[in-house]
Structure 1
Amino acid sequence: MRVAVVGLGGVGGYICAYLAKTQHKLVGFARGTHLDVIQTQGIKILEDALSWSVQFDARTLEEADGIFDCVLFCVKSYDLETSYAKIAPFINEKTILLSFANGVSNGDVLRKISQSVVLDGCVYILSHQEKAGVIRKKGKVFAAVFGGDTEAMIRVKELFDAAGLRNKTPLDIKKEIWKKYIFISAFATLTTYYDMSIRRVYETHPEVCEKLLKEIAEVAAVQGIDIFDEVTKAMETASALPKDASTSMHLDFQNNKRDELESLSGYIVQESQKRGVSIPLMQEMYKTLFPRHRS
């Protein structure tokens, strides 16, 4: 397959580095100094005690050409539609589109603007761009989770298998995405609201954590997704994290960068209003954070 990875940050850079080891035709898309370093030196991956580099075809989206069989969007949710618009001339109705951005509506966003085959998905990984051309992954956790169209799902699974990247193809992909989302949505909101790490929020405001998680589960429930069991699991996960571990949205607010408030907090508020669900805690936190939001 001819594969495009759009966005070479913590998620996309890591995935692209492994895909570069396969026989598939790969193009990675990035910009700025990060792209400059990748083009001249390759991308460097730091994980556990390992340090390795790999080179591949890296460009800006403005330099895209040909037709891609598969496009993996590894950009933030607020960049998804813009990124799609730039690569749209280089896909067709058979192209497989898969977004790994945070949120539960990314697949729906792509289906509204594209006639291509869209899979839903998410990824479990703790990684970030340490500096230009360098991606650091913490711990051993990695799993790409995706599903939808059976034929497309099999092709993407074969792609990840060839790269040696752990992947899961659950029958109920919507529920799997919500299971990740409930944790991210709650603790991105909480860490940013209280300006604390995940574990610190859990230790100092456990009842608030539980209430917010339950509100998110209520919104999922009216969409036919039962994730109430994830409330306790999310609390357990938060209690076991390193003391300084926080969320990317919290860090974005601290550094006055564009953030994912709308996809991680605003989406829950909007869905609750459309479906008549009472979520006073999330509404209050969203209202408080919105004036500092950078879209």
Structure 2
Amino acid sequence: MKIAVMGAGAVGCYYGGMLARAGHAVLLIGRAPHVAAVSRDGLFMDTQSFQAQVPMQASTDASAVRGARLVLCCVKSPDTASAAAEMAPHLDADAFVLSLQNGVDNAERLQAALRREVAPAVVYVATEMAGPGCVKHHGRGELVIGPSSFSKNLLKLFADAAVPVTISDNVAGALWAKLILNCAYNALSAITQIPYGRLVQGDGVEGVLRDVLSECLAVAQAEGISVAGDTWHAVQQIARTMPGQLSSTAQDLARKKPSEIDHLNGYVLRKGEALGIATPVNRALYAIVKLLEAR
């Protein structure tokens, strides 16, 4: 199957690389230095279980989605609207789009813009770009995907690629569960530039994590969302299963790039204001990250 990855950063490269290793024709759409490296040498995957140079195609142009049966949308949340506009004229009539993005509303935004079925996926993977054409995997890799007309295909595709997948009828709750993890860790890791395992050992950090969790759950409950799983256990597990991981927000700030903070703690802050729910810890974390971005 031809598969296109729109926004070939760390997440897109990891899942695109896994699908390519399983024999699919994967094409990465990303930035010029990365595209040049992949076009020349393939994608180097440095994972916890293998290291491999994986041949695949790459392009800087969204028109390369043409002919793809499956498109993995992995762009940052602020780029969702522009990515949809760039892809729309080139998508085949039967192309299925899967959103592998942070935040809780990107699949809805894509579906409205593209006027086609888009399934949300909750992504649990620790990855980073170690350089052009090189993705480093720090841990995990499972996906929770909303039900769709393409569910059976996705289950087989990812199973054949050794990617654990669950189809969930409560994907909104799973998206909020992931949002809570991001709100708990991303800003703190970005502000301190400290990975999760060391971060949780800091004085007072557990209290901050619990406060963020409490505020997020209050907003989710007011929104009528049934958050999936034991959220505090999940927050604790992140530091245990991804101890060396810097958050994507930390990586963005280190590279002087805009982050997704508006769609993480900023999203909870705005929802809380609309619902009359105070979110002071999320507000503080959001404000500090925005100040750091402004530098």
Following superposition, the deviation at residue 104 of structure 1 comes to: 1.0
Q: Measure the CA separation in 2 of the matches of 1:126 and 1:195.
A: 16
Aligned to 2:108: 108
Q: Measure the CA separation in 2 of the matches of 1:266 and 1:19.
A: 33
Q: Measure the CA separation in 1 of the matches of 2:86 and 2:48.
A: 35
Q: Measure the CA separation in 1 of the matches of 2:106 and 2:261.
A: 15
Residue identity matched to 1:98: L
CA contact (8 A) 1:38 1:133 kept: yes
Residue identity matched to 1:37: A
Residue identity matched to 1:9: G
After superposition, where does 1:1-295 map in structure 2 within 5 Å?
1-48=1-48, 50-64=50-64, 66-92=66-92, 94-139=94-139, 141-149=140-148, 151-193=149-191, 196-203=194-201, 204-205=203-204, 206-227=206-227, 230-237=230-237, 240=240, 245-293=245-293
Distance 1:259 1:96, change over 3 A: same
Distance 1:60 1:278, change over 3 A: same
Residue identity matched to 1:114: L
More displaced, 69-78 or 212-221?
69-78
CA contact (8 A) 1:2 1:24 kept: yes
CA contact (8 A) 2:173 2:228 kept: no
CA contact (8 A) 2:39 2:57 kept: yes
Q: Measure the CA separation in 1 of the matches of 2:105 and 2:89.
A: 23
Distance 1:95 1:245, change over 3 A: closer
More displaced, 196-205 or 83-92?
196-205
Following superposition, the deviation at residue 23 of structure 1 comes to: 5.0
Classify the secondary structure of the residue corresponding to 1:64: helix
TM-score with structure 1 setting the length: 0.89
Deviations 1:155-198 (A, max 9, x none): 22222123232211122111112222211112112333455443
Deviations 1:238-287 (A, max 9, x none): 55367654312123224422211101111111111122222122123323
Distance 1:38 1:239, change over 3 A: closer
Runs of 5+ in structure 1 lacking a partner?
none
TM-score with structure 2 setting the length: 0.89
RMSD over equivalenced CA pairs, Å: 2.4
CA contact (8 A) 2:14 2:135 kept: yes
What fraction of aligned residue pairs are identical, expressed as a percent? 24
Runs of 5+ in structure 2 lacking a partner?
none
Classify the secondary structure of the residue corresponding to 2:289: helix
After TM superposition, the runs of 4+ consecutive aligned structure 1 residues lying more than 6 A away are none
CA contact (8 A) 2:183 2:282 kept: no
**What is the aligned length?**
292
Residue identity matched to 2:173: K
Residue identity matched to 1:208: V
Following superposition, the deviation at residue 67 of structure 1 comes to: 3.7
Residue identity matched to 1:222: A
CA contact (8 A) 1:92 1:116 kept: no
